[in-house]
Structure 1
């Protein structure tokens, strides 16, 4: 076994054998880079089996300041949420990698970790450029059907699956407050945002004022880009990074899908959506991703070019709302 891992090689070997059995000898560990909120390793065994090790180490979370201050609009970090949503999605027939074992003892390490199914394949974005159109159709049609099924799981109050009792107010009010916080952060670092902060805020209020109350919420992933969908060798899509899944306005999901999937959103489209909610949530995404990109940039995220481009692109998108109207 080689390469750095959060778990000592002896501890990792002991853990793997407790979960899988004596025949599972760890051969190779590799860091699967890219996550902003948890660390992910691929574990390969000498018998040919592979799985994934998830580590929820808050010290390596690029949004640990917000989590520690409880200053995020809805918690989307933690092994408890992963386990809960994994169980819920599986029970409802929504494909997500299987959870083999979750260790929350913290007797050896100050963080939770889990062994999870390894999906041998590619992220959905790889199928944007496939020459075989049948493969594209298969992947995105299945994903569209899976999301439609997930979004029709409904209840009359928003929040996490384990939340009981009615929530007060409408869910978009929570994001209204979050947008103000993120806009303030972005204005401190981007001149054009600072110069137009008042107009951007006025636009936020105007978009919010058009939304009528609702008491019906669907189950959403919460941040479903093509990088959060794994496709196996049978062209079956799986949802990953599921900690933020919850009951919410499905327009929040669709407004994100619309710009993340581009032309391929046609496979995922829902014709029954509220256009005012779609506008509001899209605007919120642009503000939030501007701030999020800046925070990744300022906090040492490995792909600095991506972080910078994320902030610049979404700041321009937000400004277009006040330049072109809506």
Structure 2
């Protein structure tokens, strides 16, 4: 049985960050990602907010130890991403306190549903949020950085590595490896380097967007933030938003989008199957992600 962050550590974090007058009266571990623990803490005391969220990047919260992943994790990349998004005018939960030696942070609790849930429960509110999210994405696209690497080269290398790993785990991918390899190289060869990259979240699904009472989107799980091709972001957006993607659509390079889309499918085959080697609890969900992306990757080379 995996042992998670000790509640005493979270109580200490609250005392250090919010003062000795704040007491933790409840601890709820939320279902979250695979690299950090997310806890809702109920508080009492003069001036204490009703609840806060605690993030813990303790080793026991990470289901990927010893396994290389394409994105960084930890308090340092979280704080860097938070500051960058603030500078770009994009809303994230306010950081209340960070304890660097412990890889712990307290952040504002945004009450209410995710955008994903609101698509079903309140479509008109979701539509307002999508319009505001489109504006936030434009802010991120305008936050450019000189290209210190060639995004398409990095994408190709990762995709080939994911393909090789997926081929050892799924016979369908193994059989299609020559076709998938050729397609990746074909798309890559058709591109020329860009001088700048845009700010991208990296994993921006509707489950990673909380909504304020006025339907303003608040981005979470931001540690993967980086500068890269906007097509990388939109490949993920198209996959995760599905029929709700249209308000977010922008004019993109179709070949770059095709490369990032195929690379994304391969990542979402290899990654979930790799995660299932350990004790990740939501196993059916991971199998479903791997199966869906297997079918999509194969479809792209069967056309």
Q: TM-score range by the shorter chain?
A: over 0.9
Q: Partner of 1:62 in structure 2? A: 63
By how many angstroms is 1:5 displaced? 5.8
1:256, 1:282 within 8 Å by CA — same for their partners in 2?
A: yes
Matches of 1:90 and 1:228 in 2, distance apart? 17
1:224, 1:253 within 8 Å by CA — same for their partners in 2?
A: yes
> Any idea what the Cα deviations from partners look like across 1:8-65, whole Å, max 9, x if unmatched?
42x4333312221233111000100131111111111125621111111234322322
Match of 2:73 among 64, 77, 86: 77
Instruction: Work out the number of aligned pairs and report it.
Output: 298
> Any idea what the Cα deviations from partners look like across 1:97-149, whole Å, max 9, x if unmatched?
1111111224xxxxx1111111111111112223x443122111111111111
Q: Partner of 2:211 in structure 1? A: 231
Q: Partner of 1:283 in structure 2? A: 262
By how many angstroms is 1:291 displaced? 0.7
Matches of 1:178 and 1:133 in 2, distance apart? 37
Matches of 1:288 and 1:12 in 2, distance apart? 34
Matches of 2:296 and 2:302 in 1, distance apart? 10
Q: Partner of 1:149 in structure 2? A: 139
Matches of 1:318 and 1:254 in 2, distance apart? 17
Q: 1:1-326 to 2 correspondence within 5 Å?
A: 6-9=5-8, 11-47=9-45, 49-67=50-68, 72-73=69-70, 75-106=71-102, 112-130=103-121, 132-157=122-147, 167-168=148-149, 170-271=150-251, 273-324=252-303
Aligned residue for 2:224, secondary structure, equals: coil
Matches of 1:14 and 1:186 in 2, distance apart? 43
Matches of 1:235 and 1:144 in 2, distance apart? 13
2:4, 2:61 within 8 Å by CA — same for their partners in 1?
A: no
1:82, 1:243 within 8 Å by CA — same for their partners in 2?
A: yes
- The answer for unaligned runs of 5 or more in structure 1 is 107-111, 158-166
By how many angstroms is 1:312 displaced? 0.7
**Residue 255 to residue 8, structure 1, CA distance change in 2 (3 Å):** closer
- The normalised TM-score by structure 2 is 0.93
- The normalised TM-score by structure 1 is 0.87
Matches of 1:124 and 1:133 in 2, distance apart? 10
**Cα RMSD, aligned residues only:** 1.7
> Any idea what the Cα deviations from partners look like across 1:242-298, whole Å, max 9, x if unmatched?
111011111100111012101111111112x11110000000000000111212222
1:252, 1:278 within 8 Å by CA — same for their partners in 2?
A: yes
**Residue 136 to residue 12, structure 1, CA distance change in 2 (3 Å):** closer
2:78, 2:223 within 8 Å by CA — same for their partners in 1?
A: yes
Matches of 2:12 and 2:145 in 1, distance apart? 42
Aligned residue for 1:105, secondary structure, equals: helix
